[in-house]
Amino acid sequence: MVRALLVLILLLLVARAFWRVLDGVIEAAGGTTRRSARTPARGMKLMRDPVCGTFVPPGTSRSLMAGGTMQYFCSEKCLETYRASPHV
């Protein structure tokens, strides 16, 4: 009977250790993983300026409708460059 109790305690300890490891894995797979270096800002979608290649937030940048798609620019200068020759 004592032996059965010891085995039960041992199983509980193993189970606890197992769950702790599993929790750590889930946490690592969740929000705390390293983000790709390609994404400039977390949670914000950035659009690429077709002229100079700078990533700009669509809400605050200058935009131009071209060929059915919206193009975003970092500055008036880039917008004018694109407008002058859209195939840069």
Our CB check for Zn ion shows the closer of 47 and 51 to be: 51
Considering CB under 5 A, how many residues would be counted as binding Zn ion?
Answer: 6
Measured from the CB atom, the residue of 35 and 87 that comes closer to Zn ion is 87
User: Positive or negative, the Cα torsion across 21, 22, 25, 26?
Assistant: negative
Q: Shortest gap between Cβ of 46 and Zn ion (angstroms)?
A: 13
In the window 23-82, what residues touch Zn ion (CB under 5 A)? 49, 51-52, 54, 74, 78
Residues that bind Zn ion (CB under 5 A): 49, 51-52, 54, 74, 78
